[in-house]
Structure 1
Amino acid sequence: MGMIGLRDLRPNDVGGLADIWHASASLPGVGPPVLPSREAMRWRFEHELMPACRIIVAEQGGEAAGFAAMKLGERVLDQLFVRPGLLGSGVGRCLLDAVKREMPSGFTLFTRPTNPRACRFYEAAGLQILRREIHPRFGDPIVVYGWRPGA
C-alpha cells in the first residue's frame, strides 16, 4: 500500500474527497438514514466544510485516501472519512493523530451508534463517550465522544 502522507487541502481535491465522503457514508450504519446525493455532499463539502474547517488530506500511493475536517475554534472534529477500501489500513489512525496535534487541548466529535467500527476505532484511540443525543439535522441517534490529553 505504501506510506501514508498528510497534507493540506488543495482546490482540485474537492471532487475526490466528496466522493470518499459519499462512498463512506453509504456504508451500512455509517451515514444518516436517508443519505444525501453525491452532488449534495459535494455542495456541502464546498459550502459548509471548506469555509468552516481546517481540512487535512491523507494520501497513499499518490491518491487521496481520506480526510479530516476540524472546526478549530469550536474544538470539534466535524468529519473523518477514509476511502472504504482502505478501512483498517492505518489511514484513519494517521488522520486522528494529526487531529490530536491540531487540537492538543482536546476536542469532541460524534458518530452513529449504528457504526460499531467507528465506535471501536475512537474508543481504541482513547476517546470517551460523553453523551448520547439526536442528530440536529437528520434526527437519528448519535454518540458524542471527547478526547483530552492525558485522559
Structure 2
Amino acid sequence: MPTPTIRPARADEYDEVARVWMNSWVSTGLEDASNFLLAKLRARVPQEIEKGWSLYVADDNGTLAAMLALHLGDRYLDQLFVAPEYQGQNLGRQLLAFTRKHLPDEIWLRCVRGNEKAWRWYEREGFVFEKEQVEPMTGFVMKYYRWKKEGIAP
C-alpha cells in the first residue's frame, strides 16, 4: 500500500480536515462525536490558520488520512491527528519525521493527560515531560513535552 503524501492543506479541504480531527479525537474516548464538536472544529481551522498555523494533511489518493498543525516560529507541534482507519500504520511516525524536518532543533507540544496512548507514544519518540497544567478553555489537564536535537543546549 503506498504511503500517503504529506502536503499543505488547501482551503477547500478545511471541512474534511475538521472531520479527520474530530474522528481521531473521538477515537481517544475523551469526547463523543457530535454535530456541535464538528462545527466547533470547522470554525477553528481557519481561525488557527490566521493565528499562524502551518496546516498539513496526509493525502491518500484524495482521502485525508491525517492532519498536522505546526506553529513553526514557536517550534510548536499544535495538532497531530490520524484518522482512526489509518491508525497503527506508522503514519503518526511519518508526520513526526516531517515535523522534525521543519523543526530540526527543538519541538514542544501539549497532550491531554487522559490521552495516555498519545503521550506514551511521544515519550517513546524521545519527547521529555516538562509539566502539567490545566487548560482554562477546556478544563483538560495538559501534559507539556519537549524534544531537542542531541547537542542543542537547554
The reply to whether TM is greater than 0.5 is: yes
Partner of 1:91: 91
**Paired residues of 2:113 and 2:140 also in contact (CA < 8 A):** no
1:65 to 2:65 alignment:
yes
Partner of 1:112: 112
Partner of 1:52: 52
Partner of 2:142: 142
Partner of 2:131: 131
CA RMSD in angstroms, aligned pairs only: 2.2
Runs of 4+ deviating beyond 6 Å: none
**Paired residues of 1:30 and 1:114 also in contact (CA < 8 A):** yes
Q: Distance in 2 between matches of 1:25 and 1:36?
A: 14
Q: Could you tell me how far 1:103 is from its partner in structure 2?
A: 0.9
Give the SS at the match of 2:123. helix
Aligned length: 150
Structure 2 unaligned regions, length at least 5:
none
Partner of 2:16: 16
Structure 1 unaligned regions, length at least 5:
none
Judging changes above 3 Å, is the alpha-carbon distance between structure 1 residues 50 and 6 closer, same or farther for their aligned structure 2 residues? Answer: farther
Q: Could you tell me how far 1:14 is from its partner in structure 2?
A: 0.7
The residue identity in structure 1 corresponding to 2:144 is: V
Judging changes above 3 Å, is the alpha-carbon distance between structure 1 residues 36 and 110 closer, same or farther for their aligned structure 2 residues? Answer: farther
Task: Indicate the structure whose relative CO is greater, using CA pairs within 8 Å and at least 6 residues apart.
Answer: 1
1:34-91 deviation line (CA, Å, top 9, x unaligned):
x952111100011124541111211224311101101111111111110012111111
Identity of aligned residues (%): 28
The residue identity in structure 2 corresponding to 1:16 is: E
With the length of structure 2 as denominator, give the TM-score of the two structures: 0.87
**Paired residues of 1:108 and 1:145 also in contact (CA < 8 A):** yes
**Paired residues of 2:23 and 2:83 also in contact (CA < 8 A):** yes
The residue identity in structure 2 corresponding to 1:79 is: Q
Q: Distance in 2 between matches of 1:128 and 1:98?
A: 19
Q: Distance in 2 between matches of 1:139 and 1:64?
A: 29
